[in-house]
Each structure stands twice: as structure tokens, then as C-alpha cells.
Structure 1
């Protein structure tokens, strides 16, 4: 089979397609023919060597975490799935494994049946950002129409899920996005919507109970200017040093810096599938063929697009 690997840290130029044996599977595992995998910021953070404390420096390394495909075969102890099922899922350890291959093997706890009314590309976009959005909701605690929430960088994959999940819960959300993202932010439930090129949210008079920075550009220090005295700052893209520092600083301030670390689960996925039935949309901004994988990663790393970027395997 063909798989994308890299033998050293670096730009997209270190990525290469290699031939590997089709993976063997154990009694509790499922062999899946991959039809699509999505691109997430963690992919290039690991590849650039920014996460070596967690990823290590042993090569080869792989890329791609969430995917969708068709069950090719199952181990004898697997229940709930059969050959031919359309599924989506996520690799167990994104620091060590990858889904950017023609076949993947996982335990059945890491895959779920794909709804018939969404494409493989849309399904592949669910696990990582959907889980992150669910984690954010849990960190927010009890929210209602009186809770003022600001989402900075609101129309990428993460924001796409979070905005719509908050809308389904009746939350009061302000979104900061680009001019081309404004219509999407409004459709997905934000009001008001701020064009960051025209207005600096940090200089506004509005203050918020919860600020979540999906762009990674605002930071807790800046966000404190627009946070209420007992507000939360949710940080889904922490630098390694911020994890212990936030815990220490939170002992001395009522404006809490909450580092988010998320892990896919059947509980979260069930809620996300329920949200899909209630109208949650999945916007795939651009699809690339497997042979165009370098172009796909280069496009994704530039940012500024709406929704998710997906690579399809024919």
C-alpha cells in the first residue's frame, strides 16, 4: 500500500509517499480502506519538530489523524462492524501513528459508522475538531443566553463545530473572523460577527465571560483586557511551557487560563452524530487528491480558509 511518511523534521518537502505492506490486524482490530483523511494543525506542528517532548524524535513518522473509509476486514472478536461498512475514525496516538495511507488498522473503539447522508470527506473532518469542540463545551461549564462568549478565529474546522454546538444550546456568541468568514459565522450562530481586518476586538468596550482563541494569535495576556473578573480563557493550542505555567498562575487570579487537551471518545461522537441529525453542517473547504498531498498541506498551513481541508484517496 501507499503511505505518507517523513524521515526528519521540516517543511512539506520532507513528506514522501512510500510503498509499505498492507497492515496486519489482531483479533480485536479492524482493517479499513481509507477514502479520505483530514488535515489538522497538529500534523505540521509535529512534522516541524514543535512537539518533540511528546512525539519524540524517532523516525519514520506519519501524518493524518482522522479519516473515513470502508471496512475491508475484521478480527474474530470484533462486534458491531462488518465488511463493507462505511466508517470514520481516528488513530490512537497522533504523535506516533498516521491515517494518511491506503489502509489503516485500529481497534473498533476508535471507529464509528458514517452517516449515510454525509460524504467520506465530511466524515473524515469530524473526529479531531469535533472532539476539541466537545472538550471546549465541557470546559465552559454551565452556559446560557446570558453567558457572553467570544470565539477568536471562529470559522476554521474547530470553530465551525463549536459555533453550531453553542447555537444548539442557545448561547450568546461573538465571532471574530475574516471578511470571507462572516457569512458562515452568522449562519452557524454568532451574533455579532467581527471582521478582524476592520476592528480590533481587544480595543472594544465589550467584555466576556469566556474567551476562546482558535487562531493561536491572541494569547491569554492580551485576552485579559476583554475578560470579566471571573472569566475563562480557553487555550486549545498551548505551547508545552503553558501547560504547567497556567496551573500555577491560576492559583493567583480569578481570570483563569484553561489549557485544553482533548481525546476522542464514543461519548463525544454520539453527541456529534446527534448534532448532525439536528442540522450541524460540515464545510469542506477544499479536497485534494492523494498525489497532491504536499500541495494540500501547504494550502492548509497557510490558514485563512473556512472549515476543513481533506485529502481523498481513490
Structure 2
């Protein structure tokens, strides 16, 4: 089978397509013929060596975390899936394994049935950013119509899910995004939109109960001026040092810095599947073929796209 791998850390030029054996299925696994894989910033952070303490430096490495496809085979102990089921899911170890291949074998606990009302590309876009959005809501605690929330960088994949889930709770949402994405931010639930190309959000006088920095460009130091005395700053892409320092800083300040980590699980997929049943919108702004995988990453790493970017297998 064909698979996308890299033999050293680096930019998109290290990516290459190779032939390797189709994976065998262990008793607790399912073998999936891949139909689509979505692209996440985590992919290139690992590939560039930014997370080598966790990923290690053994090569070759595969890439791509969340996928959708059709079950080709099941292990002896798997009873909840059968050949032909349309599913979506994640690889077990996103630091070492990858979904950008014609087939993957993963534990059946990391796979969920694809809703019939969405296509494979949309389903592949759910797990990583969807789980992060659900985890964000959990970190925020009680959310109601009086909750005032600022989302910086609000219309990528993470923001797309988060805006819609927050709107279900009737929160008052201010979204910071680009000119071309303003209408999407409004459609997904923002009450107020700020075009960062025309206005610096840090120049406004308003303060919020929660500030969520999805762009990774604001930072806690800047966000503090936008936070109420007992507000939360949620950082979903923390550097290792921030995970440690935020814990100690939070002991001495009312303005908390939450360095958030998340993983797809059955509980947060249940929340997301219920949201899909209730009309959750999943925008995939650009789709590439497998032979264009390198171009897909080049495009995604430039940023400023709306929703998700994905690779589709013909």
C-alpha cells in the first residue's frame, strides 16, 4: 500500500510517498480502508521536531491523526463493528503513527460510526479539533447566557466546532477573525465579530469571563488586559514550559492560565455526534487528493483557511 512518511524532521520537502505492507489486524483492532484524512497543526509540529521529547527521533515517521473510511477487516475480539461499516477515528499514538496511508489498523475503541448525514471528509475533520472544543467547554465550567467569551482566531477547525457548541449554551461570543471569515463566524454563533485586519482586539476596553486563544498569537500576558478579575485564559496549544509555569502562576492570581491538552474519547465523541444530529456544520474549505498530500500541507501551514483542510483518497 501507499503511505506518506518522512525520514527526518523538516518542512514539507521531507514528506515522501512509499510502498509498505498493508497492516495486519490484532484481536482488538479494525483494518480500515482510508477515504479521507484531515490535516491538523499537530501534524507539522511533530514533523518539524517541535515535539521530539514526546515523538522521539526514530524514523521513518508517518503523519495524519484523524481519518474516515470503511472497515475492511476486524480482529477476533471486535464485536461492535463489521466489514463494510463506514467509520471515523484516530490513530492510537499520534506521535509515532499516521493515518495518511491507504489502510490503517487501530483499536476499535478509537473508531466511531460515521453519521449518514455527513461525508467522509467531514467525518475525518471531527476527532482532534472536535475533542478539543468539547474539552474547552469542560474547562470553562458553568456557561450560560451571561457568559462573555472572546475567541481569538475563531474560524479554523477548532473555532468552527467551539463557536457552535458555545452557541448551544447561549453564551455571548465575540469572535476575532479575518475579513473573508466574518460571515462564517456569525453563522456559527458569534454575536460580535472583530476583523483583525482592521482592528486590534487588544485596543478595546471590554473585558471577558473567558479568553480563548486559538491563533496562538495573543498569549496570556496580552490577554490579561481583556480578562475580568477571575477570568480564564485558555491556551489549547501550550508549549511544554507553559504547562508547568501556568500551574504555579495560577496559585497567586485570579486570572487563570489554563494550558489545555485533549484527546478524542468516547465521551467527547458522543457530545459531537449528538451535535451533528442537531445540525452541527462542518466546513472543509479545501480538499486535496492523496498524490497532492505535500501540497495540502504547504497550503495548510500558511494558515488563514476557514474550517478544515483534508486529503481525500479516490
Which category describes the TM-score, using the shorter chain as reference length?
over 0.9
CA-to-aligned-CA distance 1:18-71 (integer Å, 9 cap, x gap)? 000000011111000000000000000010111111111111111100000000
In the other structure, the counterpart of 2:275 is 275
Report how far residue 284 of structure 1 moved: 0.3
In the other structure, the counterpart of 1:265 is 265
2:199 matches 1:189:
no
In the other structure, the counterpart of 2:295 is 295
In the other structure, the counterpart of 1:235 is 235
Structure 1 Cα separation of the partners of residues 169 and 97 of structure 2: 35
Structure 1 Cα separation of the partners of residues 13 and 67 of structure 2: 23
In the other structure, the counterpart of 2:127 is 127
Structure 2 Cα separation of the partners of residues 258 and 194 of structure 1: 24
In the other structure, the counterpart of 1:63 is 63
2:270 matches 1:256:
no
Structure 1 Cα separation of the partners of residues 275 and 142 of structure 2: 19
Report how far residue 16 of structure 1 moved: 0.4
In the other structure, the counterpart of 1:23 is 23
In the other structure, the counterpart of 1:114 is 114
Structure 2 Cα separation of the partners of residues 236 and 52 of structure 1: 19
Structure 2 Cα separation of the partners of residues 2 and 113 of structure 1: 25
In the other structure, the counterpart of 2:94 is 94
In the other structure, the counterpart of 2:171 is 171
Equivalent residue of 2:194, what SS? strand
Structure 2 Cα separation of the partners of residues 301 and 122 of structure 1: 20
Please identify runs of 4+ aligned residues in structure 1 that moved more than 3 A: none
In the other structure, the counterpart of 2:73 is 73
Q: Which runs of 5+ in 1 are unaligned?
A: none
Structure 1 Cα separation of the partners of residues 190 and 300 of structure 2: 24
2:109 matches 1:104:
no
CA-to-aligned-CA distance 1:183-207 (integer Å, 9 cap, x gap)? 0000000010000111111110110
Report how far residue 98 of structure 1 moved: 0.5
Structure 2 Cα separation of the partners of residues 166 and 254 of structure 1: 23
In the other structure, the counterpart of 2:141 is 141
Report how far residue 154 of structure 1 moved: 0.1
CA-to-aligned-CA distance 1:148-205 (integer Å, 9 cap, x gap)? 0000000000000000000111111100000011000000000100001111111101
CA-to-aligned-CA distance 1:93-148 (integer Å, 9 cap, x gap)? 11111001000001110000001111100000000000000010000000111110
CA RMSD of aligned residues (A): 0.6
In the other structure, the counterpart of 1:32 is 32
Matches within 5 A, 1:198-217: 198-217=198-217
Equivalent residue of 1:303, what SS? coil
Report how far residue 252 of structure 1 moved: 1.1
Report how far residue 256 of structure 1 moved: 0.4
Structure 2 Cα separation of the partners of residues 184 and 192 of structure 1: 12
2:54 matches 1:51:
no
Residues matched between the structures, number: 314
In the other structure, the counterpart of 1:220 is 220
In the other structure, the counterpart of 1:8 is 8
Report how far residue 80 of structure 1 moved: 1.2
Structure 2 Cα separation of the partners of residues 247 and 274 of structure 1: 33
Structure 1 Cα separation of the partners of residues 272 and 117 of structure 2: 14
